[in-house]
Amino acid sequence: MVSFALTRADRAILKEAKAQADLASRHAREFEHDEDRMLPHAFPEAEGRPDTRAMLAHLEPETSGAKILTALLYLEDWRGGVPLREARYSLGNTALRIAGAPEQYERWRNRTIAIGLTESVGGSDPASTRTTATWDAAAGEWVIEGEKIFITYAESCDAVLVLARLVHPERRGLSAFMVEKGTPGLSVGRQFRKMGIRFEDTAPLAFSACRVPAFNHIDGDLKSMLRSFSESRPVVAAYALGVTRAALDFTWGRLAEIGIAPDYDQGPTETTAAADRLMSLEAEWEATWTVVLQAKWIEQNEGPGKIDSSMAKAMGGGLARRVTQTCIDVLGVCGLSDAYPIEKAFRDARIFDIYEGTGEVQRLIIAREILGYSPKELN
């Protein structure tokens, strides 16, 4: 039976995570006009405070499980605006675990691995990949040529898992390759100037006569590797829950200054329009939180659920846009001023409907499953 009741260990870990998010929030705006600056491994306020991920590892048997608690910890990181300690969710590591050979995973498991999928033509659709990997039989190496854009952790990662089209006398199609930082022919472009999430390392990568040994070819099941998105999508929804929780809390705080507070026992005719709108969004927030936990519970017990993860992602992305827009509507000028956190939350929220597949893509995935259509029949 699925249960969303938190254990005592869950509550202890999350209590500390909430306290750390409050401390981190004072640094949330430091990167708004300095996107070339990388996040520190830890802010000064982390000194003397326990590492919540280490707490989870130590107390895991007493928790609801690492999959669920990890998502909730990311929720708190994003509620604070930036993590108090470096805490990355790297899709490249997940993809390598799924598709790599044991010896490959063992070699790179403790590295931060970016994933190089998106290109300037075709976006993140694998079928549009133009980056090539040409087999040089004489040298026993693959030669990678091409460009990738919007790569998270492009500058600060240790290696990148690159999707490329094979150029080989006996093979064709797409495959993945591990390219370590410092490999000749790999270069990192300048940080993108973004509307939101300006603290996050996002830059393009270029590959020019970039040679990697045969060992670096991740010759696993590509479809299984791409299903790693089913693990990451509910985490992105948790990111959205964190940003929207901060926006809702701030807006309720401002309304409290003029005597408006939520009363969930009253009907819409017995409360103010502003409170009614926010309470409706609170209900959506709770529903999305439940769907995220359900997706992670299924992953933890049965393996990643494609439809459940898409539902969580679609709900989280849409919620973030509605909540931050409504908070600005309710707060008026205060919501637009960079002296307050709402305008930043509004800008940051846009990414959650894009990360790991847009909301439109998620709805297509869900519709295909429900209606029994193939990607060619419904796209």
Q: 171 with 237, same domain? A: no
Q: Which of 219, 234, 254 is the last residue of a domain?
A: 219
pLDDT of residue 70: 95
Average pLDDT over residues 98-124: 90
Q: 204 with 276, same domain? A: no
Instruction: Kindly report the CATH number assigned to the domain that includes residue 308.
Output: 1.20.140.10
Q: 230 with 351, same domain? A: yes
Instruction: Kindly report the CATH number assigned to the domain that includes residue 184.
Output: 2.40.110.10
pLDDT of residue 122: 74
Q: 363 with 312, same domain? A: yes
Over the stretch 32-49, which tens digit does the pLDDT of each residue have? 988 888 899 999 999 999
For residue 69, how many other CB atoms are within 10 A of its CB? 26
Residue 362 lies in a domain: yes
Average pLDDT over residues 114-139: 88
Residue 232 lies in a domain: yes
Over the stretch 335-378, which tens digit does the pLDDT of each residue have? 888 889 999 999 999 999 988 888 888 999 899 989 998 888 88
Q: 60 with 160, same domain? A: no
pLDDT of residue 378: 84
Q: 237 with 366, same domain? A: yes
pTM: 0.92
Q: 266 with 195, same domain? A: no
Residue 86 lies in a domain: no
pLDDT of residue 356: 81
What confidence tier does 1 reach under pLDDT thresholds 50, 70, 90? low
Q: 194 with 332, same domain? A: no
Residue 91 lies in a domain: no
pLDDT for 88 beyond 80: no
Name the average pLDDT for the chain. 92
Q: 134 with 238, same domain? A: no
Q: 360 with 262, same domain? A: yes
What is the C-alpha separation between 190 and 146, in angstroms, rounded? 17
Q: 49 with 136, same domain? A: no
> Percentage of residues in the chain with pLDDT exceeding 90?
73
Residue 94 lies in a domain: no
Compute the chain's Rg from CA coordinates.
Answer: 22
Average pLDDT over residues 254-281: 90
Q: 320 with 343, same domain? A: yes
pLDDT for 294 beyond 90: yes
Residue 1 lies in a domain: no
Q: Residue 220 burial (CB < 10 Å; 0-12/13-18/19+)?
A: middle
Q: How many domains does the chain have?
A: 3
Give a three-class secondary structure readout of 311-379: HHHHHHHHHHHHHHHHHHHHHCHHHHCCCCCHHHHHHHHHHHHCCCCCHHHHHHHHHHHHHCCCCCCCC
Give the domain range for residue 313: 225-371
pLDDT for 228 beyond 90: no
Q: Which of 184, 219, 254 is the last residue of a domain?
A: 219
Residue 89 lies in a domain: no
What confidence tier does 2 reach under pLDDT thresholds 50, 70, 90? low
What is the C-alpha separation between 289 and 272, in angstroms, rounded? 26
